[in-house]
Structure 1
Amino acid sequence: MLEINITNISDWENAAAQLITWAGERRKFAFYGEIGAGKTTFIQAICRYLGVGDYVASPTFALVHEYAGSGAQRVYHLDLYRLRNIQEALDIGIEEYLDGPDYCFIEWPELIEPLLPEDIVRVKIAADSNSHRKVVIL
């Protein structure tokens, strides 16, 4: 387990480096937290750390955004908030993202818990105030 305290917006950059280092070879990440907790902000910082040059936005309506990281690595950012059932996740090919070799960052993963790999990195973000966040990584 790793705990990170965020006290200002620039702390997310350091947290991104800590997360990727702590995760080692694991490339699948599930992000938990209320609306506005900082899931997308954290994923944006992680993508910058991984060399993504594009603007990273929440894929709430598209469900999935694909980015090119440094080298040949691909980075997938999924937002499952709008899905109603696990079949919709299967219909968008969730298993291909989970089984593939690329980085995969999933917001609102609760619906697909039965499909998540055992070794997925779970990132829980809680807002203590407007600018303070507690990040727990399991």
Structure 2
Amino acid sequence: MTATFTLEEINKVAKDILATPNLKKVITFHATMGVGKTTLIKELVKELGVTGNSSSPTFSLVNEYESKTGEIIYHFDLYRINNELEAYDMGIDEYFYSGNWCFIEWPEKVPHLLPLDHASIVIRSLPNGKRELLLKND
């Protein structure tokens, strides 16, 4: 899936992502700082039925949300991880293989810990202020 959108259209993009057939529950997000990874994840969390506020787990590394239907969603921001051992020590692999939604910002910090079977989203900023998104779900 590819999409070009403004931040005002991010809700539609989130709905389109979640409508992807056989979408994997572990999704990595690749983009430079400030392009909208956290904003998109907030929309995905909302679309999955989380009613409370969602925020970036920059300092806690992971936030856990529960949807209205009891589904668990994990949002990781690994920007502050120093190495894979640190992530492993926090039990990150248990989250990734839990069967729950895992949205992972800065996955390049833990390349050897990611499940082989995951989806990835690449977002880049365009000169006109829009964003381009590519979802790989093979």
TM category, shorter: over 0.9
2:83 alignment partner AA: N
In the superposition, the TM-score normalised over structure 2's length comes to 0.93
Native 8 Å contact 2:14 2:44 kept in 1: yes
Identical counterparts, % of pairs = 35
Alignment gaps of 5+ in structure 1: none
Number of residue pairs matched by the alignment: 136
In the superposition, the TM-score normalised over structure 1's length comes to 0.93
Aligned-residue RMSD, C-alpha: 1.3
Spell out structure 1 runs of 4+ moving beyond 4 A. Answer: none
Instruction: Give me the whole-angstrom Cα distance separating, in 1, the residues matched to 2:97 and 2:108.
Output: 18
Alignment gaps of 5+ in structure 2: none
1:116 aligned residue: 114
Q: Which residues in structure 2 correspond to 1:1-138 (within 5 Å)?
A: 2-7=1-6, 9-22=7-20, 24-129=22-127, 131-138=129-136
Q: For 1:47-106, what per-residue CA distance to the aligned partner results, in whole angstroms no more than 9, with x for missing partners?
A: 110011111111000101000113110010000000110001101111011100111100
Native 8 Å contact 1:31 1:107 kept in 2: yes
Instruction: Give me the whole-angstrom Cα distance separating, in 2, the residues matched to 1:60 and 1:21.
Output: 28
Instruction: Give me the whole-angstrom Cα distance separating, in 2, the residues matched to 1:50 and 1:84.
Output: 31
